C-alpha cells in the first residue's frame, strides 16, 4: 500500500468512526428518554437496560453505516480540497479515479461488514432485544410449559398445520388439520380428531384424508388410525417460538420463504425483505461515488455544509428506500427492483457526477 493510499484511508476512517459514535450516542440517548417512564414504572435494573441497548447496537450500526460513510468521504475529500491537496495530487499526474480508489476499497469493506451484520448478527440482536423488552422490562409472560392452543405452524414439504390443542410432553395433537400444497396448489388435507407421536412418527386417529387435483376434490378416505411417516416434524418443532422475519437470519429467512411458497402462501414481502438484506449494506459502497462531485461544495462551505449535505442525501435515500419497500410489498415493483431502487438511483447520480467532475 502506497503512502497516498494510507493517507486517504486514514483521513476517511477518522470522521467515519466519529460519525458512528456520535450517531449511536444520540440514538441511544433519545430512545432512553422515550422509554424512561417504562423503565421507571417497571423498576428495571440498570444491568437489564444496558443489555437491551447492547442487543440493539448491531441494528443501529447497520442503519447508520451509509450516512457515516458519506460523511467520512465528504470530510476526507472536502478537507483535502480545502487544503489544495487534491490540486497538488492531480498536478503530479494522479487522476481523480486513482485518488478515489482507496475510498472505494473502504466503502466495499464497510458494505461487507454491513452485510455480515444484517445477515446474521442483527436478526439475533433483534430477537434478544425483543425478548428483554417484552419479558424482562414489560413483564409479559413467556410461552412456558409444553402445551399450546390454537397453534398454526408452517412445516416442511409444503404442509401447514392447524392444531386446536397440543401437548408437547405427551406428543398429542387434538383437532388437527394438515394441509399440503405443491406449487401453491392444495393436494392433500388431513382432518383428524387426534394425532399421537409414536415410534418416531405421527399416528392420526378418527379422520379423513382428502386428495385434490386440477378439478378439485378427487378422493376422500376415512380412517380410524393411520400413520403418516413422511411428516418430518417432531413434537419439539411445534414448541419452538415462531420468529418474526426481522428476527430471522438470512438463511432462516430463505427457508421461511421456501416453506411459505410450498404451502401456497404469498412470498412477495419475504422476497423484498430478503433482497434488502443485501441492498441496504451496499449503499455504503455506492455513496462513496457521491464524494467527489460534492467535495467542491465542502471546499467552499466547510464541514457544516458537508454535514448538512450528508443528512440531506441520507434523507432522500431513506425516502426512496421506503417507497421501494412499499411498492415491492404491494407487488407494483419486482422484489429485486424494489430493494435496489435507491441504490440504482444514487449509483446513476454518482457515476454522472463523477464523469462531470474535473479529473
DSSP calls for 159-175: EEEEEEEEETTTTEEEE
Taking the C-alpha atoms of residue 27 and residue 335, their distance in angstroms, rounded to an integer, is 30
Contact 73, 290 (CB under 8 A): yes
- How far is CA 174 from its chain centroid? 36
pLDDT for residue 309: 79
Q: What is the pLDDT of residue 353?
A: 77
Going from the first residue of the chain to its last (359 residues), give the mean pLDDT of each consecutive group of 10, the final group possibly shorter: 82 91 93 91 90 94 91 84 76 77 90 93 92 84 74 87 91 93 86 93 94 86 91 87 83 87 82 92 88 66 72 88 91 92 90 72
Q: Is residue 288 within 8 Å of residue 106, measured between CB atoms?
A: yes
- Give Cα 343 to chain centroid, integer Å: 16
Contacts of 271 (CB under 8 A, 6+ apart): 257, 335
pLDDT at residue number 207: 93
SS (H, E, C) 178-193: EEEEECCEEEEEEEEE
pLDDT of residue 148: 85
CA dihedral 76, 79, 81, 86 (to 10 degrees): -60
Enumerate long-range contacts of 193-197, CB under 8 Å, 24 or more apart.
196/170, 196/171, 196/172, 197/171, 197/172, 197/234, 197/235
Residues with Cβ within 8 Å of 336's Cβ and at least 6 positions away in sequence, in order, are 275
pLDDT at residue 297, rounded to an integer: 60
Q: Judge contact between 12 and 73, C-beta under 8 A.
A: yes
Q: What is the pLDDT of residue 301?
A: 59
289 to 10, 101, 102, 307: CA distances (angstroms): 18, 10, 12, 17
358: Cβ–Cβ under 8 A, 6 or more apart, which residues? 90, 96
The confidence score (pLDDT) of residue 91 equals 75
Are residues 164 and 175 in contact, defined by beta-carbon separation less than 8 angstroms? yes
The whole-number pLDDT of residue 55 equals 94
Q: How big is the CA angle at 250 (ends 28 and 54), to the nearest 5 degrees? A: 20
Sketch the domain layout of the chain as residue ranges. 3-139+266-356, 147-240
Quote the pLDDT of residue 262: 78
Determine the distance from the C-alpha atom of residue 99 to the mean position of all C-alpha atoms in its chain, rounded to a whole number. Answer: 33
Amino acid at each position: 500500500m502506497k503512502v497516498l493510499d494510507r493517507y486517504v484511508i486514514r483521513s476517511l476512517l477518522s470522521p467515519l468512526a466519529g460519525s458512528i459514535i456520535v450517531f449511536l450516542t444520540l440514538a441511544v440517548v433519545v430512545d432512553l428518554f422515550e422509554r424512561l417512564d417504562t423503565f421507571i414504572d417497571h423498576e428495571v435494573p440498570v444491568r437489564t437496560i444496558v443489555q437491551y441497548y447492547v442487543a440493539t447496537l448491531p441494528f443501529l450500526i447497520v442503519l447508520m453505516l451509509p450516512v457515516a460513510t458519506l460523511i467520512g468521504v465528504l470530510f476526507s475529500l472536502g478537507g483535502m480540497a480545502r487544503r489544495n491537496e487534491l490540486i497538488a495530487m492531480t498536478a503530479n499526474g494522479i487522476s481523480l479515479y486513482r485518488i478515489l480508489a482507496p475510498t472505494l476499497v473502504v466503502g466495499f469493506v464497510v458494505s461487507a461488514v454491513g452485510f455480515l451484520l444484517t445477515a446474521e448478527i442483527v436478526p439475533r440482536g433483534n430477537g434478544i432485544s425483543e425478548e428483554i423488552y417484552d419479558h424482562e422490562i414489560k413483564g409479559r409472560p413467556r410461552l412456558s410449559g409444553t402445551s399450546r392452543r390454537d397453534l398454526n405452524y408452517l412445516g416442511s414439504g409444503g404442509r401447514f398445520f392447524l392444531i386446536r390443542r397440543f401437548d408437547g410432553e405427551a406428543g398429542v395433537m387434538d383437532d388437527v388439520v394438515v394441509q399440503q400444497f405443491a406449487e401453491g396448489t392444495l393436494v392433500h388435507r388431513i382432518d383428524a380428531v387426534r394425532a399421537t407421536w409414536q415410534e418416531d412418527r405421527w399416528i392420526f386417529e378418527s379422520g379423513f384424508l382428502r386428495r385434490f387435483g386440477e378439478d378439485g376434490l378427487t378422493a376422500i378416505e376415512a380412517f380410524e388410525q393411520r400413520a403418516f411417516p413422511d411428516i418430518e416434524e417432531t413434537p419439539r418443532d411445534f414448541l419452538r417460538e415462531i420468529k418474526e422475519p426481522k428476527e430471522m437470519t438470512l438463511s432462516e429467512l430463505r427457508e421461511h420463504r421456501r416453506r411459505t411458497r410450498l404451502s401456497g402462501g404469498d412470498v412477495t414481502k419475504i422476497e423484498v425483505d430478503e433482497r434488502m438484506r443485501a441492498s441496504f449494506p451496499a449503499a455504503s459502497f455506492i455513496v462513496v461515488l457521491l464524494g467527489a462531485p460534492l467535495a467542491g461544495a465542502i471546499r467552499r462551505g466547510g464541514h457544516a455544509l458537508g454535514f448538512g449535505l450528508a443528512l440531506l442525501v441520507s434523507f432522500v435515500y431513506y425516502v426512496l428506500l421506503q417507497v421501494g419497500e412499499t411498492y415491492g410489498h404491494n407487488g407494483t415493483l419486482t422484489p429485486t427492483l424494489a430493494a435496489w431502487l435507491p441504490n440504482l438511483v444514487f449509483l446513476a447520480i454518482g457515476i454522472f457526477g463523477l464523469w462531470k467532475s474535473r479529473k
